[in-house]
Structure 1
Amino acid sequence: MVFAFHGTGGDENQFFELAQQLLPRAGVVSPRGDVSEMGAARFFRRTGEGVYDMDDLARRTGAMAEFVAAHKAQNPNAPVYGFGYSNGANILASVAMAHPDLFDRIALLHPLIPWEPEAVPALADKRVLITAGKHDPICPWPMSQRLIDWFTTQGAQVFTKVHEGGHDLRQPELLALEALLKAP
């Protein structure tokens, strides 16, 4: 089972077909963020660029964890993979940090985690892909590096794909996502 989380302004269709192409036999769950920011769908509120409403993030992290857990319970023998882009990567990271048992593999495509996460030893040995652009104006490289280091410190198997561009997804990132999802 693959959970695909869209970026700001996307919707449940943004990565649905990609998930189906990458893992044709897997069930795909692609939730739609129910927060509107000037008409753009998001998974949680923010008060400015890179400034999150942490209370709202905590509430929505809990709700998303319940949503994922319900799907997982209906498919008890299926591995559960998650990937998200931008705002979708942020909610996925928050859920994985709060409930590390929900996902078997995690791909965070251009995440921005502006808070200092607590240690999560249960992430040890989880496969985690983090992609970034060195000149991303939304997710500054030092914050991406800090997140990579944080997951490494937790003992996760961290894979990265970094390009010299900005907030755009590039083919090498999608190939790294495919490799993560299809790996034995």
Structure 2
Amino acid sequence: MAGYQYREGQGATADAPLFFVFHGTGGDENQFFDLAGELVPGARVIAPRGDVSEGGALRYFRRTGEGVFDMDDLARRAAAMVDFVATTKARYEGAKLIGLGYSNGANILATVQFGAPDLFDATVLMHPLIPFAPPKADFVGRRVLITAGQRDPMAPASTTQQLADYFTASGAEASLFWHAGGHELRQEELLETQRFLTPFRG
């Protein structure tokens, strides 16, 4: 499939959930690949590699500073990701579509959702930062889990709460899970993610 270098799991059944995972800045398609298989055994895991380099660190879109997004670039690359995900989904008619992203990966995943609210059935946004007002959208029937650190220096708690409120106000079944730390992933949020994704297991 053109557009992204990606890793795709093998051996899943035709009706298995499609599980897209999006790495953080400096990661690659391997960062969450094995974790996805543990969270939802039997899922068809697809992990696209970010195609922007920031000083050698891979990302999904450009930024001009910490927390300052290149909005034109974000719009272009989010549209390209929508096409990539939708094209993959079309190959597996009827399969549930779930997504997980961390940091920059959570930001591209959330922006994809803003542009295509009916694409994903459920998403996990880990430590997202959306420093702009998302567009009006209808997320009725969609599930969203946001995980975050109360002392995250990169993603202010107020901005995270605003994103959770946005999804709730837009009709999603949205929940927000906090841990007491910063931008790092912690075991308790992985356990919460596992619980959230239980309906897609088996």
Secondary structure of the residue aligned to 2:130 is: coil
The offset of 1:160, in angstroms, is 1.7
2:48 counterpart of 1:26? no
Preserved CA contact (<8 Å) 1:105 1:180? no
1:79-108 deviations in Å (ceiling 9; x for gaps): 000010000000000001100111000110
2:183 counterpart of 1:167? yes
Task: For 2:197 and 2:45, locate their aligned partners in 1 and report how far apart those are by CA, in whole Å.
Answer: 13
Task: For 2:68 and 2:142, locate their aligned partners in 1 and report how far apart those are by CA, in whole Å.
Answer: 28
Secondary structure of the residue aligned to 1:179 is: helix
2:170 counterpart of 1:127? no
Segments of 5+ residues of structure 2 without an aligned counterpart are 1-17
My pick for the range that moved more, 9-18 or 124-133, is 124-133
Structure number with the higher helix fraction is 1
| Equivalent residues in 2 for 1:32-71, closer than 5 Å | 32-71=49-88
Task: For 2:94 and 2:199, locate their aligned partners in 1 and report how far apart those are by CA, in whole Å.
Answer: 18
Letter in structure 2 aligned against 1:167:
H
Percent identical: 57
2:130 counterpart of 1:113? yes
Task: For 1:125 and 1:162, locate their aligned partners in 2 and report how far apart those are by CA, in whole Å.
Answer: 24
My pick for the range that moved more, 131-140 or 170-179, is 170-179
Secondary structure of the residue aligned to 1:84 is: strand
The offset of 1:179, in angstroms, is 1.6
Preserved CA contact (<8 Å) 2:121 2:141? no
Letter in structure 1 aligned against 2:72:
D
2:56 counterpart of 1:14? no
Secondary structure of the residue aligned to 1:112 is: coil
1:143-169 deviations in Å (ceiling 9; x for gaps): 101111111111110122101210011
Segments of 5+ residues of structure 1 without an aligned counterpart are none
My pick for the range that moved more, 83-92 or 124-133, is 124-133
1:19-64 deviations in Å (ceiling 9; x for gaps): 0111121100000001000000000000000000000000000000
What is the TM-score normalised by the length of structure 1? 0.97
2:159 aligned residue: 143
Aligned residues: 183
Moved over 3 A (4+): none
Task: For 1:130 and 1:22, locate their aligned partners in 2 and report how far apart those are by CA, in whole Å.
Answer: 16
